[in-house]
Amino acid sequence: MMSRYFVDRISRRLVLCFGTVAFLILIFIAVFILKGSLPALEEVGIVDILFGTKWYPSHEAFGILAMFAGSVIVTLLALVMAVPLSVGCAIFLAEVAPRRISNIARPAIELLVGIPSVVYGLVGMVVLCPFIAHLSGTGSGSSVMAAAIVLAIMILPTITSISEDSLRAVPTLYKEGALALGATHWQAIHHVLLPASRQGIVTAVILGTGRAIGETMAMVMVIGNSPILPANIFAPARTLTGNIAVEIAAATGIHESALFVTGLVLFILIMIINSLGFIICRRKND
Amino acid sequence: MEFKMQTRKLEFYYGKVRALSKITMGIEEHQITALIGPSGCGKTTFLRLLNRMNDVISGTHLAGDVLLDGQNIYAPQVDVVEVRKRVGMVFQQPNPFPKSIYANVAFGPRMLGLNNKAKLDEVVERSLRAAALWDEVKDNLGKSGMLLSGGQQQRLCIARVLAVEPEVILMDEPCSALDPLSTLRIEELMRDLKTNYTIIIVTHNMQQAARVSEWTGFFLLGELVEYNKTGEIFQRPKDKKTEDYITGRFG
């Protein structure tokens, strides 16, 4: 007789515990990274780390600006390629494609999200880099360009499927209203559907950006990993993520701490991007 | 007598299911024609065939003709966009775009290529006046159309249709989401509009059909059971089924 209420009370406490644990883990990681960063921040100085362009661990130079720029440039370039392609693809799937085709294409695109990034890196390394080397005439082809293309392909499915969902979520009434006023199908898409799903598409792009900034394995495999500011898009570079992955195994002392600072910068960058996405999502629901 | 619109043996199928069977019906110019009948009887499907709105739904097909001024709107050389410009539509749920009042009314003319600000201003004012909404919104044309009341939204949708200067206006239960007062305003508006437009209205509300229309068609199970002057239908229905429906014995 009291068991129903008992179960209710217990399960409420239980899920509260789970929630707390998840939150504590996040706090723990943040504290851990911050603590690991402190020695480098104290010894080298926050300005020299954030704005220094030289990364020579053997000479105690720990400027991560080149890597920061590497991450940002590669991500922006990938977005420039991926956004028009994904939004176009989403419009095709939601509005133009016959149901038979979109029913096959949609799961196929969602499947792309699940492919491990090392596989993308492998394809980039074996197919893309030699091609770029051939085009540019120098080096191995490992470059900002190769990284941006691989990254664009990796975030394409994310942006496409979220954009498509938001296009489909626009009430049919809007579209029919536009058509009934003598708008062509494309005018209805351009002037009614796209504006009405703008926030969903922006959210999709921000989630894609978050994914791009955080991508590690595929980047390490195709970007060349030189810790210098790239002279052009066919030159090698290094991302923040790659900086940690490439060097952590051999790093000790202040070097290791500098890598923690790299992680801290990434952590903050991703938090900013995700909060931006969260804020836009929330505004949509109001 | 030449009809404004006419259907000849019009049949419509959702997949293999027949939704309309052999509807032959003439719509008089500058009059209001009401289509009544219980839910699922095919009246909305029929209405949407008159401006090719059902083209949007995949897996459907039709047989028979729909004539606008004697020309078949389903003929291969006919431009569907042109048809919809001449035959406008007001939907059951008021559906202003999430844009300003001005942008809502200017939408149609802009899509047709009108970009001159002075001309657009003029069209917007004329359309809002014709839809009896101008006085309520003239100081707030920049406000979102979504922020208006339900009745105002529906009049905005009517203004939006008028801005395109159609010849026929289809109304799909335009008052079913509105309160009685707003309903009354829309009905008054319809009476004003019929001087310049031909109006076809689908309604669940038989009093509404009796109040506003000159002609009434009674649909049942995809068939046009009876079609006549509104007065005749309501006072001397020829078909037993029509009589049962309008006296409230079913439906």
Name the closest residue on chain A to residue B98, using Cα atoms.
A196
Is the pLDDT at B102 greater than 60? The verdict is yes
A89 and A25 belong to one structural domain: no
Question: Is A57 part of any domain?
Answer: no
In words, the CATH class of domain B16-246 is alpha beta
Alpha-carbon separation of residue B113 from A183, A196, B84, B106 (angstroms): 10, 22, 15, 11
Is the pLDDT at B118 greater than 80? The verdict is yes
Q: Which residue has the tokens 């390490």?
A: A220
Judge contact between A132 and A234, C-beta under 8 A: yes
Name the closest residue on chain B to residue A188, using Cα atoms.
B111
Q: Which residue has the tokens 């005018």?
A: A187
Q: A182 and B164 in contact by Cβ < 8 A? A: yes
Mutate to test the interface with A, among B47, B107, B165, B176 (most CBs of A within 10 A): B107
pLDDT tens, position by position, B209-231: 999 999 999 999 999 999 999 99
- Going by pLDDT thresholds of 50, 70 and 90, the confidence category of residue B177 is confident
Question: Is A55 part of any domain?
Answer: no
| Least CB–CB distance from A182: residue in B58, B84, B97 | B84
Average pLDDT over every residue of A77-97 = 96
A127 and A256 belong to one structural domain: yes
Say if strands B87-90 and B168-172 run parallel, antiparallel, or are unpaired: parallel
Is the pLDDT at A70 greater than 70? The verdict is yes
A29 and A167 belong to one structural domain: no
Question: Is A56 part of any domain?
Answer: no
A262 and A162 belong to one structural domain: yes
pLDDT cut 70: percent of chain A above it: 98
Q: B107 and A174 in contact by Cβ < 8 A? A: no
- Going by pLDDT thresholds of 50, 70 and 90, the confidence category of residue A179 is very high
Enter the tokens of residue B225.
């059971």
Mutate to test the interface with B, among A172, A176, A181 (most CBs of B within 10 A): A181
Q: Which residues share a beta bridge with B215?
A: B33, B229
Contacts of A192 in chain B (CB under 8 A): 97
CATH code assigned at A101: 1.10.3720.10
Q: Which residues contact A40 (CB under 8 A, 6 or more apart)?
A: A49, A62, A254, A257, A258, A260, A261
Q: B111 and A196 in contact by Cβ < 8 A? A: no
Is the pLDDT at B159 greater than 60? The verdict is yes
Contacts of B157 in chain A (CB under 8 A): 177
Query: Which range of residues forms the domain containing residue A172?
Result: 65-285
What's the rounded Cα separation, in Å, for the pair B120 and B97? 18
Question: Is A59 part of any domain?
Answer: no
| Least CB–CB distance from B98: residue in A98, A178, A196 | A196
CA atoms within 13 A of residue B227's CA, in its CB half-sphere? 16
What's the rounded Cα separation, in Å, for the pair A87 and A95? 12
A16 and A73 belong to one structural domain: no
pLDDT tens, position by position, A21-62: 999 999 999 999 999 999 999 999 999 999 999 999 989 899
Question: Is A54 part of any domain?
Answer: no
CA B95, distance to chain mean position in Å, is: 14
CA atoms within 13 A of residue A75's CA, in its CB half-sphere? 24
- Burial of B43 by CB count in 10 Å (0-12 exposed, 13-18 middle, 19+ buried)? buried
The pLDDT of residue A286: 45
Nearest to B131 by CA among B186, B90, B180, B88: B186
Name the closest residue on chain B to residue A192, using Cα atoms.
B97
A82 and A172 belong to one structural domain: yes
Is the CB of residue B58 less than 8 Å away from at least one CB of chain A?
Answer: yes
Q: Give chain B's radius of gyration (CA, Å).
A: 18
Question: Is A159 part of any domain?
Answer: yes
Judge contact between A95 and A266, C-beta under 8 A: no
Average pLDDT over every residue of B3-31 = 92
Question: Is A60 part of any domain?
Answer: no
What's the rounded Cα separation, in Å, for the pair B176 and A72? 54
Enter the tokens of residue A145.
């360009």
Is the pLDDT at A2 greater than 70? The verdict is no
- Going by pLDDT thresholds of 50, 70 and 90, the confidence category of residue B251 is low
What value of ipTM does the predicted structure carry? 0.89
Q: Give chain A's radius of gyration (CA, Å).
A: 23
A23 and A149 belong to one structural domain: no
The pLDDT of residue B1: 57
- Going by pLDDT thresholds of 50, 70 and 90, the confidence category of residue A223 is very high
Is the pLDDT at A283 greater than 90? The verdict is no
Contacts of A178 in chain B (CB under 8 A): 97, 107, 111
| Least CB–CB distance from A180: residue in B89, B110, B112 | B89
A133 and A180 belong to one structural domain: yes
A75 and A202 belong to one structural domain: yes
A233 and A278 belong to one structural domain: yes
- Going by pLDDT thresholds of 50, 70 and 90, the confidence category of residue A4 is confident
Cα distance from B100 to chain A (closest Cα, Å)? 13
Average pLDDT of chain A, as a whole number: 92
A197 and A276 belong to one structural domain: yes
A155 and A249 belong to one structural domain: yes
Q: Which residue has the tokens 């085009």?
A: A135
Contacts of B96 in chain A (CB under 8 A): 177
Domain map (residue ranges) of chain B: 16-246
Say if strands B87-90 and B5-14 run parallel, antiparallel, or are unpaired: unpaired
